[in-house]
Structure formats: structure tokens, C-alpha cells
Amino acid sequence: MEPQEPRVVAQLDSDQFDMWRALGGVRGLLESVTPGLVFVVLFVVTRDLAPALIASVAVAVVAMVARLLARTPLTQAASGLGGILIGALWAWRTGEAQDFYVWGLYVNAAFAAGALVSILAGRPLVGLLVRGLLPGAGETAGARRVFRTATWLWVGAFAARLAVQVPLYLNSEVGWLGTARLLMGLPLWALVLWITWLLVRPVVHAHHHTTEATP
């Protein structure tokens, strides 16, 4: 679920990368994967759009209600529910099951374009995020190169999703599209964040060292 992804970037200023935290823990992973999994399984088995849409929305609503009852943060569940509702309404309006996934394609295209524009403008997105978390970090030429490289990684991840999923969407391969969406969703994003963290960790450590050395 692409809209959930920005919530885990705070790990970029951590000394250790926690993969489970990047995935949102067991609950976050289930909230991200289950609605889409329910949709694709039901549709592939029944070839009936309505039950698949209703079931996927119901699962996302249950996740939201569970968080409300437990009084836990709603950001991830609300983001996931929003994406599911948009996809369900889109597919319901067109009557085409593959349109359940079209919103995610637009989101990935927007993220890819935004990250690419940030590089071309000389303000790589990863650098903006790190400096937002750690004001004054990464002012050297070497740090700027790291930020640019990491942002290219993000562009590549979003572009890879589009390269795989757009042809499946155009060919109405709902089962394969749903599978690709699950595999290239939050798990792929956690991997991208881990590699990003490896890239920016020296910059973060240098900033912490400079800050601690400053009287």
C-alpha cells in the first residue's frame, strides 16, 4: 500500500535499522497485505467483482475499527483504508477488476516523478527528508552525492513497480497484477529503506559526531 510508505522514513536517522518497524510490525504487515490478498483470491476463485470488492473493503474497515478500539495510531490503517476505498470505487464504477489497482499505479507514477524532479532540481528527496529529521545534516558534497544516489534508488523502485504492473494492468491479468502488487508493496519498500539507510548512515553518524563535539 503505497500511501503508507512515507510513515517509515523516520528510521533514516536511527543507529539501527528495524525491518519489522519498517513493515509496521505484524499488525502493519497484515493491514497492508490482507485487503489486497482477499480481493485477488476471491476474484480469481469466483470471477465475481462485487464479493471481492466488498470483502476487501470490509477487511480494511475491520483493521481501522480494531485500531480505534485499541486506541492505537490510525495513520497506517486510515491510509490503507483510503487506498482500498479509492480502488474499490474505481473498479465498481468501471466494472473492471484490474481498476482496483489503478490508483496505486498513479501513486507510484507521482512518487517516481516527484523523486526524479527533486534530483533534477538539485534537491534530492532523501536529502530533504534527512535534513527535515536532522537540521544541518549532509551539507558536504559527499553527502549530497549520497542523497542523490539514494533518491535514484527510490526512483528505480517506483519505476520498477510501473514496469511490471502496467503491462499486467493493460492485459487485464488481475491475478498476476495482484500478486505483483503484494510482492512489490510494503516488503519491497522496507528493502529500499534498508539500502537507503545503509547509504545515509555515515552522513547521519557524521552529523551526530559533529553535534556532540560542538560545545
Average pLDDT over every residue of 5-24: 59
Domains contained in the chain, number: 1
When mean pLDDT is compared over 124-128, 160-164, 186-190, the highest value belongs to 160-164
CB atoms within 10 A of CB 102: 18
What's the pLDDT band for 9 if we cut at 50, 70, 90? low
Q: What distance lies between CA 184 and its chain's CA centroid?
A: 9
Please determine, for residue 152, whether its predicted confidence score (pLDDT) is greater than 90.
yes
Please determine, for residue 8, whether its predicted confidence score (pLDDT) is greater than 60.
no
What's the pLDDT band for 4 if we cut at 50, 70, 90? very low
Residue 90 pLDDT: 95
Residue 6 pLDDT: 44
Gap between the Cα atoms of 80 and 83, Å rounded: 5
CA of 82: how far to CAs of 4, 5, 31, 32, 131, in Å?
10, 14, 12, 12, 29
Please determine, for residue 13, whether its predicted confidence score (pLDDT) is greater than 80.
no
* Residue-range definition of the domain harbouring residue 128: 2-213
DSSP per position, 57-114: HHHHHHHHHHHHHHT---HHHHHHHHHHHHHHHHHHHHT-GGGGGHHHHHHHHHHHHH
Return mean pLDDT, the chain: 85
CA of 10: how far to CAs of 64, 127, 129, 169, 184, in Å?
23, 13, 8, 33, 21
Please determine, for residue 203, whether its predicted confidence score (pLDDT) is greater than 50.
yes
CA-CA-CA-CA torsion sign (135, 137, 158, 5): negative
CB atoms within 10 A of CB 54: 15
Q: What SS3 state is found at 136? A: coil
Take residue 168 and report the three cell numbers written for it: 499486467
Average pLDDT over every residue of 78-93: 89
Residue 67 pLDDT: 82
Please determine, for residue 205, whether its predicted confidence score (pLDDT) is greater than 80.
no
Please determine, for residue 128, whether its predicted confidence score (pLDDT) is greater than 80.
yes
Cβ contacts of 11 within 8 Å, gap of 6 or more: 17, 18, 21, 22, 193, 197
Please determine, for residue 12, whether its predicted confidence score (pLDDT) is greater than 70.
no
How many percent of the chain have pLDDT more than 70?
Answer: 82
Residue 207 pLDDT: 64
